[in-house]
Amino acid sequence: MLLGELCGKNNILYLNDRHEEKDTEKEDRRKLYEKRILPLLEENDTAIFAEKTDPFLLDYYRSLGLAPIKKRNIFYVEDYLKYSSLTKAILDNQTLIDKIKKTNIDTLIPYIESQDTEKLSQKISSNLLRESSFVDWINNKSNFRQVVKEEIGLKIIPGYRSNPERAKKDFEKIKEKGYKRVIFKKERSASGFGIFLVETIKDLKKCLDYNFKDNFVIEAFIENIKFSPNSQYFITKENIFSLGASDQILSEGFIHSGNIYPSLIYKKTDLYEKMEEISNKICRYLQSKNCFGLIGIDFIVTDKNEIFPVETNVRINGSTFPNLIAKKMFGKSKNVFWKSFISKFPPQSFEKIFTASKDSFINQKDRFGIFPISVDMIDFLGEGYFVAIGGSHKQVNDFYENFIRRKMQ
């Protein structure tokens, strides 16, 4: 697959355990182990999943020339819900570890590197692309702000590393700069779930009581944001590869619910060049720390055409999958547009959904339409992750609207 090509490795083991990221405890565990990586797996790849693969879904992918992975290279973990994470369940299964080890894995690519994925890589005698201790450190939002401002020398959003005792003072310092509202962020969180907006002292007390006990980030809230690009890169020892930028779709203020490609920033040459300049400085810093592999950098663009790096995600990103799937299916064509989104249904099989909306789905190579990225648990969670792919933003929106309309019937 593309990640294997970028890192120059053949025998790769993929483990999409999102529970290894911080602040995911409130999400359904089964949802955290979904198979978003499945359509991208190549013939000689290896993967570990929690639940069995839906045969209808796998046949659908293969009809499009995707997921040619050998069935013997897909491993499953029994009784995984008895453990605090899928990775811990694997670590406690020596029989499974012995089977995986026989496949001679060269590189383990997890959703995110952690102490447990590092232990697993050692047990199966494979490599990781970066050390878990550095990944944990740089994904901390306070540390990222410090690196960007002090070590790289970039302009960042006004803010501080704070705690419950200093919060009122730091809040007032930001308000004195003329900002109406202030953002409180957990130092480690994913998909916008650890972000809270505060306007008054009363709101501040309530926010602290419910959400914060330790250190956190407090930042000025930028009121007039045009769009929020996520730009992804793959870093090797010698190179930095750009994988493109898409705009984040945020619901309820900060919750990530999808992306739209290409980003509006491509229409603004000066801003795009500025974003690439900032990104390259951040990527070169990571490269200097031997932090290789896929990363995403989140930005905001204001109505005054200011651009700020907000955070870096040194892990697989939510938009990684639609991005790579579109590239794999349609190559490097400049006329490919897409929109990823989450859609909810009454619990039912994907086969039933596909049959009811067959004309909406991509059903042959080189054809545009709706593509299911993760629907393997839709029969009991009632939620699927899809991407609409087309030759223009209008066509993508038409596919999306038609699919949603059919779903409601």
pLDDT averaged over consecutive 10-residue blocks of the chain (409 residues)?
76 91 73 89 95 94 96 94 94 97 95 96 96 96 96 95 92 93 86 80 85 89 92 96 94 79 96 97 98 96 94 93 94 87 92 92 93 91 94 96 81
Task: Report yes or no on whether pTM surpasses 0.95.
Answer: no
User: Would residue 211 count as lying in a domain?
Assistant: yes
Do the beta carbons of residue 229 and residue 278 sit within 8 Å?
no
Q: Which two tokens stand for residue 140?
A: 């901390």
Question: Last residue of a domain, which of 255, 289, 313?
Answer: 313
| Same domain, residue pair 32 and 123 | yes
Question: Last residue of a domain, which of 173, 202, 220?
Answer: 220
pLDDT of residue 102: 94
pLDDT of residue 162: 92
Q: Which two tokens stand for residue 382?
A: 């009632």
pLDDT of residue 149: 96
Per-residue CA distances from 155 to 152, 306, 308 (Å): 9, 10, 7
| Same domain, residue pair 215 and 233 | no
Residue with the two structure tokens 């995403």: 296
Q: Rounded to whole angstroms, how far apart are CA atoms 124 and 118?
A: 10
pLDDT of residue 353: 93
Question: Last residue of a domain, which of 170, 187, 220?
Answer: 220
Do the beta carbons of residue 67 and residue 38 sit within 8 Å?
yes
| Same domain, residue pair 38 and 71 | yes
Q: Rounded to whole angstroms, how far apart are CA atoms 156 and 162?
A: 16
CB within 8 Å of 214: residues ≥ 6 apart: 163, 187
Pairing of strands 12-15, 107-110: parallel
User: Would residue 149 count as lying in a domain?
Assistant: no
CATH code of the domain containing 255 = 3.30.470.20
Please provide residue 228's backbone torsions phi and psi, each rounded to the nearest 5 degrees: -125, 95
pLDDT of residue 191: 66
pLDDT of residue 253: 64
| Same domain, residue pair 42 and 123 | yes
| Same domain, residue pair 324 and 401 | yes
CATH code of the domain containing 336 = 3.30.70
Q: Which two tokens stand for residue 357?
A: 């909306």
Structural domain of residue 255, as residue ranges?
225-313
